[in-house]
Amino acid sequence: MENQKTRELMATLRLLSPGTYLREGIDYIIQGKTGGLIVIGDTPNILDLTEGGFRINCQYTPARLYELSKMDGAIILSEDAKRIVRANVTLRVEPAIHSNETGLRHRSANKFAKQTEHIVLSVSQSRNTLTLYFKNQRYIFRERPVLLSGANQTMLVLTQDIKAMQDAVNTLNWAELSGNVTLANVVTAIQLCERVRRAEQELNLYRLELGTQAQSIQHIPELTTEIESGLLMTEDYYHECLRDGFEAFEKIMGLDANNLANQSNISEALGYPRDIRSTFASLEPRGYRMLSRVPHIPFTVIESIVDKFKTLDKIFTAAIDELQGVDGVGESRASIIKNTLAQMKTTTTQPHTLTLSMLE
């Protein structure tokens, strides 16, 4: 669900969440107003790019990190951040590497992170802020009041978007099971699902930054399942002109907030015309999303079923022995698929909002 850069950032932020041993030492530096430059990683490549300073090679403690930060040079921690390897070293940075940072410490940290692809932390002495550099990424940690305010606002937006997403998905469910899916149904559901995914991702950043202080930010256990199921809409409806659903998903993920708000951009990312009202023919889902709701079916088996039958309607009308002909689908699993899909068809009711719009 998350691209590589986001996964890497999330993993790095976990190392620095309030309540962790590493963050405790950094907080000492912030409170002491000494500033600091910390490299996490003691690979031969990193050590070869340092000069001067002292070989420490002792167990990490927050107090030791703080005391060593009083010297001007950088501190090198081991790869697991459990040992202080060197202190007061000069980082030999490649001059050709570009950085937009203005302060000497932040510029060195930015360039060294790009050069080594390791985590480098810069604590500003004048502003008392912590900035994380990792590869080409830069992340400034925020103060607790700002975090709590932002988290509460994001939670409010997320709650509203979840309700809208659920309404859109219910409408799409009914349209799929009644064989009357419009491009507008699909685009609206994908748009809202992506908004919810992004809001939840933003909320996760707040949780990581707040660490042990994040108890007030509630988790919505079923949300991940809803988002994952919703993302299969893209796999169900991307146009054949595209190579695969992942290509469409990458395009949608690449839209900024303003472009995501324009449904024409989502339609185009799926391979359809920008004017979503110009496509009058009903769309046929491939069946990924509905099959994902059948209990205990691996996604590899779902892919095999869709590969054979091509559309959800053909999966609905397939006989049990036809389903059994798919790799991974035995008699028991074929019966479960047939019964579950049949139950969906009989229990899914026309959404209230859609009923009202038809009566107007």
What pLDDT is recorded for position 222? 66
pLDDT: which is higher, 353 or 17: 17
Given 232, 258, 285, which residue is the final one in a domain? 285
Report which of residues 348 and 321 the model is more confident about: 321
Q: How far is CA 75 from CA 35, 69, 72, 140, 202, in A?
A: 12, 7, 9, 19, 31
Q: Are residues 273 and 291 in the same domain?
A: no
Residue 355 lies in a domain: no
Q: What is the CATH number of the domain that holds 134?
A: 3.40.1700.10
SS3 226: helix
- Give the model's pLDDT for residue 352: 59
- 59 belongs to a structural domain: yes
Instruction: Write down the mean pLDDT value for the chain.
Output: 89
98 lies in the same domain as 182: no
Domains: count for the chain: 3
Is there a single domain that holds both residue 12 and residue 129? yes
Last residue of a domain, one of 248, 268, 285: 285
Verify that 219 and 153 share a domain, yes or no: yes
Asked if the model's pLDDT at residue 280 lies above 90, the reply is no
Q: Are residues 137 and 149 in the same domain?
A: no
Q: Examine residue 358 and state whether it is found in any structural domain, yes or no.
A: no
In a domain, 134, yes or no: yes
- Over residues 96-152, the pLDDT tens digits come to 999 999 889 999 999 999 999 999 999 998 888 999 999 999 999 988 889 889 998
Q: Specify the pLDDT at position 350.
A: 75
203 and 76 share one domain: no
- Mean local confidence (pLDDT), 338-342: 92
Residue 190's domain is classified under what CATH number? Answer: 1.20.1260.110
- Give yes or no: residues 272 and 215 share one domain: yes
The CA–CA distances, whole Å, from 167 to 56, 177, 345 equal 60, 16, 18
Average pLDDT of the segment spanning 272-287 = 87
pTM of the model: 0.79
> With 80 as the cut, is the pLDDT of residue 90 above it?
yes
- Whether 310 and 201 map to the same domain: the answer is no
Instruction: Report whether pLDDT(317) > 90.
Output: yes
Q: Are 322 and 220 in contact (CB under 8 A)?
A: no
Domain check: are 273 and 314 in the same one? no
How would you label 34-69 residue by residue, b for 16+ Cβ within 10 Å and e otherwise?
A: bbbbbbbbbeeebeebbeebeebeeebebebbbbbb
Residue 197's domain comprises: 142-285
Tell whether 200 and 220 lie within a shared domain: yes
**What percentage of the chain reaches a pLDDT higher than 70?**
95
Report CA Rg, the chain.
26
Question: How confident is the model over 212-231, as pLDDT tens digits?
Answer: 777 667 667 667 777 777 78
> Could you tell me the pLDDT band of residue 358, with boundaries at 50, 70 and 90?
very low
The answer to whether residue 94 is domain-embedded is: yes
Does residue 106 share a domain with residue 158?
no
76 vs 147, residue with greater confidence? 76
pLDDT at 10 > cutoff 90: no
One domain, residues 236 and 209 = yes
Q: Which residues contact 228 (CB under 8 A, 6 or more apart)?
A: 1, 292
Confidence band (pLDDT; 50, 70, 90) for 7? confident
27 pLDDT more than 60: yes
